[in-house]
Chain A
Amino acid sequence: MTSCRDISALVSKSLDERLTWAQRLQVRVHLAMCSACRGFERQTRFLSHACKALGKRFEAEAPDERERTDD
């Protein structure tokens, strides 16, 4: 069976690029059995989402809330 370390690398890669058919199957089988890697998958998706949100915040025209909370 493929290790959690290898699966986490594939999960990471899958966020940027479509995996091969064999890799997708490998990931799917592993995730079905491994709650830790399922958690990692959910969390890395969230990280992606959160970083994009952070990028958008830099582009927000209005002074952000940080300035208000700092006062």
Chain B
Amino acid sequence: MRAADEALPISHREAGLPTPLVGMLLFIASEVMFFGGLFAAYFNARAVSFGEWGPPAGAPELEILPIALPITLILVASSFTMQFGVWAIRRGDQRAMRNWTLLTLVLGVTFLLGQVYDYTTLGFGLSDGSFGTVFYTLTGFHGAHVFGGAVGLTILVARARQGQFSRQNHVAVEAISIYWHFVDVVWIALFSTLYFLR
């Protein structure tokens, strides 16, 4: 047994996931539970509606065209472009990463604008019964999370402009890309629930 004064100096783990990434994964776990609570509200409201579930009388049924399906495809595409950006910076190609991230940002903003436009065509609001409430709360909070992701993407583009990412040092890109994929997965669940499961 070594004596006390031969004790090892402090160092932290170099192995395993980088700490900021661990933090982001844990944060995403909490966000999954948050959306879980909102989905629970949706399914509970649907269960107690006893068959009368959907937009209130006078408003059209939810349709996947002309808006919902295209913006879904745009958001899914943005996940691909985000991942191309991550692969680029893992190769050390900062310029490609910057361009893919910028494209992801553009696609994300397009999604948001499309969502807002969709809201104007729906014919019902938050205060029009329980369906309206859960619809706008779920899609609204999802949109807010997309907006937060867009802020993150903007920061990535700005920092890439300043040359702050390299092959060894780009944990922020990895973390934000995981967040962006999460936002996309939530949308796929939401889209399926609202437009297919009904």
Q: Do A and B bind each other?
A: no
A interface list, Cβ under 8 A from B: none
